[in-house]
Structure formats: C-alpha cells, structure tokens
Structure 1
C-alpha cells in the first residue's frame, strides 16, 4: 500500500470520471427534441433519388414527402425543414410563391399526414431562379448583383405563400438587409401573426455548401454570394447581423454553418433568443466520407459533433443526421 504524502493530489478529477458516475454529471445531453431534419422535395421526380454528394440523403417526390415525415415522426423527430426543387425556373422566381408550388404542396401533404410535425420552410429564391442567386438581380455600382429591396418584396410573397399552405415557421435565408422586419410586417398584416420567423441571421459565405447545391440544384451562374453573406473572418459583423434580426422581430436566430463557427454561436446565444445551428452539407459529407474510408468511427464522430454544437449554445440543431441520431438516442 502506498503511503499518502503531500505529493499526491487532493483534487482528483478522475474521481468523477468513473463509468457509472459520468452519466450523472454530464453537462450536455443530446435529445431528439434538439434535432431538425432538412428534406429536399423535387417536383420533377416520381420516386426518391439519391444525392451523390451526400451519401444517405435523398430528394423526395411531392407524393413521397409525407411518408418520409411520418417515418421521422416515428423516430422522435418533431420538426423538418423543407427545400424545394421546382419544375420551372426564371429570373423572378415565380414558382417560389406559386400556391401550387413544390414546397406549398409538400407543406400541405406533411400537415395532412402528420399534423403534429413542426414544418419549417426555407424562404429563398436560389432554387427557383435561372441564375441561382437568392433574389432579384440587376445592375449595381459594383456590377450585376442581388438587389436588396426588390428581393424583399419577393421574400414577402414567398413567406406568405408558405404560411397560407400551413407552415409553422418560415426561415428566410437570403441575408437581405431588413429581411426579418419586412416579412414580419407582411405576415402580421395578412393575419399570420402566429407564424414564427427563424432567421438565417448569421450565415457565412462558406465553402461548405457545395453538396447542398447539388441536392437543391441551386448553384449560381455568375459571381458569388459574398456581397450578401458574411465573410468567415468577421465575427463582430456576424453578431451585429443577429442583433439586428432580434430588433426586427425574429423568433429564432440561426448560425450557419455550425461546426466551424462555434465561437460565433456562443456569442449569438447571449442575445436572449432561441438559437438554431445548421450542420451544413459539407460538414455532413466530410464525416460520411471519412467514415467510409475508415478514417474515423462514424457514430462517435456524429454524436460528438452534435454534442459540441449544443454545448456552444444551440437550442436546435439542423442536421442531415437527424433520423439516424434519433434512432441511436432511442436505443439508450
């Protein structure tokens, strides 16, 4: 037996790390209620179609989206985020606010099949414009670019069409100035004051969106989106963007991407509103690819990534892993 002397520690952190004690003292616990599943609805297909850049993810036909939502509901997922791929695209994104548009049909189908599911809709135009930008484009002092105020009018029309279809939450993602205030006014004046706005309030011009552009058919034909999304180097600007959306009446803020921006997420979480973090397509595909190559243990890496996002301050996590993780959490 080793004699106790002053060289041995009084504070032993390992005492709290025994396998039976650890679960009692864990600071962050991941729950199925934390998770939102993004889904792609394609008006051009009749059966689900794999997304090659996102193994394990699919585009769903309008007729099949309710079944997928029902499966997620059975797994314990209580919210989905819908993205649409329309039959027709044009410079003004007319199909984005068509009452019979792809997302509008999908909302009605999901609500008819799973009334309790919280349906969130992405309010943007990049999937619906023939140029791939997030609104109306025209000539500016810097050349052809997104026009802010004409695009606000377009976002109002899209948000209203989603609310009319039955969406619980609209999620404007185009990072326009005045976006939240404009949509809030439009919704309230039309009698949709109970529809929430989850703003993409801190959205970075990230390299991690590549797989999404295949999934949603939303690549841009010229330029980039750096004039209306935040440069990855700028955290003060990111916080200011979220504060402005608080002031304009947002109900939920969002940081996108999640994993590379946990410092920003933790700051946005201090503003007092619920915060969602979007684990984007590139984050998903990197973990998938590394696991498929045997470079890391997939399940552990996924759970770790989501736990760290929640630890940084996220109340909600939008992740393509939602269905799988819900199943794993149910096992425990």
Structure 2
C-alpha cells in the first residue's frame, strides 16, 4: 500500500491476531469446554438428542436478542440495565393489544417496537444529553419500566383468561401472532424465535462490521474525547446505541409474550444480567472499544448450553445462579489478563 510504513501491515495483522487469539480464542475455548462437559456427562444420552440442542437454542434466543443490543451499548462504553424491565413492559403491552383488544399483528408489533425505542431514547437522552452515568440512568429506567408494567397490568398477568365481575373467567383465543412466533419450522427442527434471534444478530453484525456507525461506536468506547475530536457525532451515536438496545428489548418482549402466551409484569427480572454475562463471556470488553456480535454469539452459545446441561442434570436454579456469578468474574478477569 502506497505511503504506508513497511511494518504497518505487519503491525495491523499482529494486532488482529492478538485480538483473535486473545478474547475470541478464550471465548471459543469456553464454548468447547462446555460442549465437552455435555459429551462427557450426557444425562443418559439426552445431550446426544437434537431436541436438546433445539431447545437450548430456543431458550437462549430471548437472552441472545437482548445481548445483541447490549453488545452495541457496551462497545460504545455504556451499559443498559433496563432491558429486562423493558422486555416485561413490552410483553404486557403486546399481550394487552393482541389478546384483549384484538389489534392486527402489524399494529401490535409497531406499537411494541415504538415503546422499546422510546425507553431506549430516554436512556440515550439521560446519558448523552444530560451526562448521567449509564449505570444510574439505566437503573432509573429499569425501575420506572418495571413499575409501569405493573401499573398498566394492574399487577396481574395479561392472559387469555379474562376475569368476569361474578368471579368466573372468560377465555379468549391465542392470537395468530403468538402462535406463529411460538412455532417450529423445518420439520419442527428450529424455533421461529431462534430465527428472529439470528436475524437480529445479522442486523447488528452488519451495523458493526460494515457500517460507519460500527466504527464510530468502537471509537467512542475506546476514547470518547478522541472520537469527538475526530468528528464523530458522539452524543447522537451514544443515544442511537440505546435506542437500538430498546428496540431489541422490545423484540425480545414480543417473543417472550408469545412463548408464555401472556404478558407477565414480573417476567424478565435478571435477564439483563444473563445477557451481560453472554456479552462478557464472548470477549467484548466492559470498558468498551473492543468486541462484536460474532463474539457475543459465542457467549450466547456458551451460557445457553451451560444452562441446558445443568438443567438436564436437574441442578437447582440457586446453583446455576451462583455458577453464573463465578463465570462473570472469571470472564472479566481473563479480559484483564489478556491486556497485560
């Protein structure tokens, strides 16, 4: 390349290889170890059945959709703790509109996405415009959205069972939108929600890998002031990252409502922590500036398969949560070791 120092190409290749064999290499290793654990302890052959892998992918898909949005936010140097509550609010709104009011599917989806984008925009406004710390801003939105979900549902699940004044129940039909999302295709071998997750991953991957926005988000996460001096619209891009995260949380909320066939104001509690764990396990730096959707996919598979392996071995939820906490610490520690 003309005008480039002879060693520049080698330096770039060296940095790329160091990143790949570092964070991405550790993410691959973690996934391989988890899969090996399933092969060594197959739970009477359950791990060898395709249904187990299909269900593991389906159960990880909602978390994975959240993780895609969180990857963009974390890459830009932020954090979003509100996605689990946004998911719950959107699930309640989706169930109310689709089940009780009978709105057409396109209008239900459009309204649900607008709710997610609005709350994401609030996060972006608080962080980018008002300068609040992302942890505080999204924590406030998390509490607000959860309260709004409980208020709008009356603290009850919005389901096909509608209470009557005399204490009886009137049962409504499950909306076609819910039945479509909760079905399986390709001969029953793949869930629609998994396809939606992969579509979200492809969209985010294209934004991060093939669009200037991806470079800008990485630059902001790496050094915000340097990015601003280079002409990057920092405030607008930071706000956009949170809007995208809110949109994907809305997609996850629609999927959650469809799979549960109801809108539960309590659903999604702690989902943000699992999604963050997936992003971190994939090797995206919590400090921002380095990461990507490919790495997040590795984290989703690692955490998803680990959860499934523990589940088929009947490990109680308390043990799974404790193990998840240990894994998050180990993932962050390995990131620190990789920078030395």
Structures share fold, TM-score greater than 0.5? no
Which structure shows the bigger proportion of residues in strand conformation? 1
Which structure shows the bigger proportion of residues in helix conformation? 2
Relative to the length of structure 1, the TM-score reads: 0.26
Relative to the length of structure 2, the TM-score reads: 0.26
Higher relative contact order (CA 8 A, sep 6+): 2
